[in-house]
Structure formats: structure tokens, C-alpha cells
Amino acid sequence: MSFPKNQKKVINAWCMYDWANSVHNLVITSVIFPIYFHATAVGSDGSDVIDFLGFRINNDVLYSYTLSVSTLILVLLSPVLTGVADNSGRRKFFLKLFCYLGAASCVYFYFFTKNNIVSSVVAFGLSMIGWGGSVVFYNSYLPDIASEDRFDRISARGFAYGYVGSVILLIFNLLMIMKPDLFGLSQADSDSGLTSRIAFVTVGLWWAGFAQIPFYHLPKDKSQSFQVAWLKKGFGELKKVFDEMRQKALLKRFLAAFFIYDMGVMTVIYVAALFADKELKIPTDGLIITILLIQLVAIPGSFLASFLSRKFGNTIALRIEIAIWATVPLAAYFTTTAEQFYVIAAVVGLVMGGIQSLSRSTYAKLIPDDTKDTASYFSFYDVCERLATALGTFFFGFIIQQTGSMRNSVLLILVLFIAGFLLLTRIPSKQVYKG
């Protein structure tokens, strides 16, 4: 018996996983953890060069490599495990597994001091794997719990939940770090990093705690014992989905377009703070304000994308979003002041949630209606996103290394958006066909 769709309680519960896990994206990868990492992962002489597993390495490079390695592991693991999940009926098991791995890694950051840098870096990589690994299984539930006409609106709601939840916890943690006396702590606790380490614990508890809501309401796994043969069958499941995808012209076209424009999107998300710091010399408090601004503007931005898709169709709506995105690197190339950067940040916020939510729902519409392999299908979407992140940030850094200018790298992002826009013109917009 199939799971009944469009149940309000189930849909709200699904959206709550965005509320639960988005705190990792904001607190760990965007705001507090990078600052704490740079201040704590230092050599015995206080320099940025540290000993790591017998190598002398700059802490910023180590941070970047950790992101790259965890992304590569996800690219290798995701397709196989989603195939196993689809074949075994244990999708929620893997969702929980990655969720708890990521949440536990965040809690471990409480012990992150100058004396245990190696294990803390490993924990950071595991938190990224936990976050990314859980998202692919979470996304795959969308076609199972809702009818196609609701994909855009529900996907947007999920991202909006994530932005609201993550901002709430970030503000709480920033207050604890900057005003420790309000929480019974001292300025010495803040200066020593204790308040930051407590903040990391709250991320893990928030993530695992609120995840219990979707865990309870989402469709249950099949009740069966584990079998070694599932791994072999998982590869077979993956091959079957891959063969099916090869026959779906629009699905292939969309993934190609998504891969290109998402390189631009993810590069902006990951390097915006670096650009503000290195090129514009915006202080840390200004960067925090910028990130909060982006998160808050992204909430209505998600629903704006849903409105555009209802009015013009998915791919035209995506092209509108990309056209707006293209103004970001173009404006950034000429930006020289903090005030100008804040305006650009507001534009990023307006389209950041929109393009991500609309991309997810558009892909869900392109999956065959009768498929039972939604996790395997979404693994290909996830792989495209991970590779887009890795390649986009790599080429951004490569151009900086070759030209000595971050502004030249910004122009690469503009090219990616133009190419993605053109590739999307090959997909009809008024109706998303399954062929």
C-alpha cells in the first residue's frame, strides 16, 4: 500500500528536517566555526602553519582540504548507499545514521582545543559527511509525500524553515559569545573559546533533537533484517536508475544545466565572506551582519521562486533567478565599499533560497511518476551538487593563483551563470515532461 500524499502533518514534519540540519550550514560552515578554527588550529609558535599527521600545512589550506575530502567521500558513498536504501527499504535508517553522525561530530567540537587539532579536523570532516549524506535521503522523500503540483511550494517552505531555525540558533549563540554574562558565564569563558565550544554542542543537540519530528512522521522503513547481498543489489539498483536516466532527455539536460549554474551558486556561497575579508577588508562583525542579512532575505526569496514557477513554469522561473544571480559577480567585480557589498549580499539572499528550492522541486518533477527508487535518483542530483561545489571553488582558487586577483575569479562565476542560463533554454517551462 502506497503512502498517502499531501498530509499536512507529514509535510510540515518533512520541512522540520531543514529546520533541524540548517544550523550546521550556518553556525558550523559559515559563521562561528571557521573563525574559531582559524584562531585555534595554530602552531606552537602561534603561526597559521601547523603540524598535521606529519605534514606542515597552513590552517586555511587544511580547512579547505577537509571540505574537499569530505565532499569527495560523499560523491563516492552517496550513489551506493542510496541504491542499498532503495533496494532494502531502509531509507530512514540511513537518514538517521548520517544525521546522528553529523550531530555527534558537532557535539565533539566541545573538546576542540589546540591540544587535539587532528581529531577535531576529522570530526569536522565527519560533520560535513553527516550533513551532506542525510540531505540526499531527506530530499528523496519529497515525491513520496506530496503531489507534483505542490513540489515547488513545499520545497520553498522547507528552505524557509531552515533559514528561520538557523538564524534563531545563530543569534542565541552570538549573544552567548558576545554577552556571556547573560548566560551565567564570564568574559574569560568567551575569550578562552568555551562559549564557542558550547555553541557547537547546541548545534548537535538542535539537529538531532528537532530531527525526531520528521523521523516520527515520515514513511516507515520496511521491517527486514540486514543482508550482505544488499550491497551487491544496491549497485544493481544504481545501474538500473542510471540506465533509466539515460533515456530521459529532459532529466539529463536539467542535470547538465544544474551542474553548471550550481557551480556559480555554491562558489558564491562559500567565497563571499572571503571576498569581503580579503578584497574589501570588512571586519568580522560586518561579515556576521552580512550573513544574517542573507539568511533573513532568503526566507521571502524562497517563496518568490515558488510564485515565479506558478506564473511562468519551472525553467523560466529558474532562468529569472539565474539572471538575477548573474548581477552578483558583475557587481562584485566593481565593488569597492562595504555598503555596496551589503547591497550585493541582499541580492544573494533574495535568490539563494529560491534557486536551491526550485532546483530541488524541478528535479523531483522530472523523476518518473511511478519510480520507487527516489533515493537513487536524488543521489545523482546530490553528486552534481557536490562536484559543482568542489570544482567551482577549485577553479576560483586556481584563477586567483594564476592571476593574483580575486576579482578575475569573480568573472568565472558570471560565465557559469550565463552558460547555465543557456542550457536551461533547452527545457520547456510551461509543463515539465517526463520524457
DSSP string spanning 188-214?
HHHHTTHHHHHHHHHHHHHHHHHTHHH
pLDDT single digits (tens) 1-37: 467 899 999 999 999 999 999 999 999 988 889 889 9
**Is the model's pTM score more than 0.75?**
yes
Nearest CA to 353 out of 416, 290, 265, 278 is that of 265
pLDDT single digits (tens) 148-184: 889 999 999 999 999 999 999 999 999 999 999 999 9
Position 203 confidence tier, pLDDT thresholds 50, 70, 90: very high
Domains of the chain plus CATH, in order, are 8-217+226-424 (1.20.1250.20)
Nearest CA to 338 out of 296, 388, 293, 287 is that of 287
pLDDT single digits (tens) 238-286: 676 777 777 788 888 999 999 999 999 988 887 777 778 777 888 878 8
Per-residue exposure over 39-51, b if at least 16 CB sit within 10 Å of its own CB, e if not: ebbbeeeeeeebe
pLDDT single digits (tens) 355-408: 999 999 999 988 887 777 787 888 888 888 888 888 888 888 778 778 877 788
Site of grid cell 565532499: 71
Q: How far apart are CA 70 and CA 386, in angstroms?
A: 10
Q: How far apart are CA 184 and CA 128, in angstroms?
A: 31
From first CA to last CA, the distance across the chain in angstroms is: 27
Position 234 confidence tier, pLDDT thresholds 50, 70, 90: low
pLDDT single digits (tens) 321-341: 999 999 999 999 998 888 898
